[in-house]
Structure 1
Amino acid sequence: MAIGVVEEQEVMAGMYNLRNAENSGTGEETTANAAAATAATAATAAITGPTNTMQKFSGDRGPPTADTWVQKCEMVFGRMQFTKVQKQELATHQLESAALFWWNSWKEGLDLMTLAWLNFKTRFDRKFVLATIRSQLSDEFLKLTQEGRTVIEYVTKFNELSRFAPYLVDTQEKKNEKFIKGLNHYLSKSLIPFDAEPL
């Protein structure tokens, strides 16, 4: 099911309340904790509904591939207002089998309250996207131009591929330059510098 902005905020607040209650160590069942548990269940239903499907990822060679899984997550995030940390939390709840073992091992010692989706994606790519595929995607980004795409399609592709060549976009100036150079000529001459944040 699709949920509205207010409902999303209530759901996420409920998830955080539930986590905080669990971390308090009191073990007391209160009305607030029960409400938080209900909200967390609603969050799961919201992201697994027919219009907001988040796939599980096991880390094996079957579908979905690592890159496809990340793209699917970002499609869902694009329709819902989550913070960077909430995106990471929701995505990691979809891991299972080998991927879940990797996550449980890697997250030890990390501050999960500040671990953003972009940081997670970087580590995830290193682990589950083959080096040869990363190299191909990096080359694709290096050669990326707008060509027959709309500007929105170009922005989407730019964001999708830029994570495989971070050295080309590691400052805002470099990102602006790469983006503008890839635009169709008539647009690049008049475009305001690109400052959109990658998904």
Structure 2
Amino acid sequence: MAPPRRNPGNCQQNANGTTNLQAIIEAIGGLTNIVQHQVGATNPTSALEKFRKLDPPAFKGTKDPIEADNWLKEIARLFRAMEVSDEQRVILAVFVLKGDALEWWESTERTHGREVITWQHFVELFRKRYFPDSLMVQKEAEFIRIAQGTQSVYEYERNFAELSRFAPHMVNTEARKARHFERGLREEIQGPVSMFKLETYAEVVDRALIA
């Protein structure tokens, strides 16, 4: 009996020289990679493991809006590095809440019931709790009156940078930022700095450190 003849169509080559069977295998492999990536992106356990390895800072609550803002910025920075979903951001942020902050969140969840809280909504609620208008106004007033006093130039610059976030309209150009910093310097430093009429904040700080 003659052996069965092979169907030449089963091994037909495409224009690139790849058989149909090879093309199917490659397609299945690509699909598997996509599925594995999607599963990893939606798996909260996997995201939590990665998050913990980054050593995220805990947040216990505070009356200092600068401290609260620094925590929020650091957490957001870690999320950008991890490329996690919006829903996972809320889960992971809540994971590092402690003490008063955790009590606040549990109370907030009870208030919102079954409503799904997005990351943007979480940030809004967080700012409302730790950035009340009265504190914002107080910090803006501090920045308006800021002065070096007995601080070193380095300490004054650090304080200036922290408070400037509460009055962005006062430092929205390099020249305005430079002049405001300059006005707060002690007289014996301000004189030598102002004579140069420097236009950028970095130049004023550098000249103040030299003076």
Q: Which has the higher contact order (CA 8 A, sep 6+)?
A: 1
Larger Rg belongs to: 2
With structure 2 as the length reference, what TM-score do the two structures score?
0.47
With structure 1 as the length reference, what TM-score do the two structures score?
0.50
Which structure carries more helix by proportion? 2
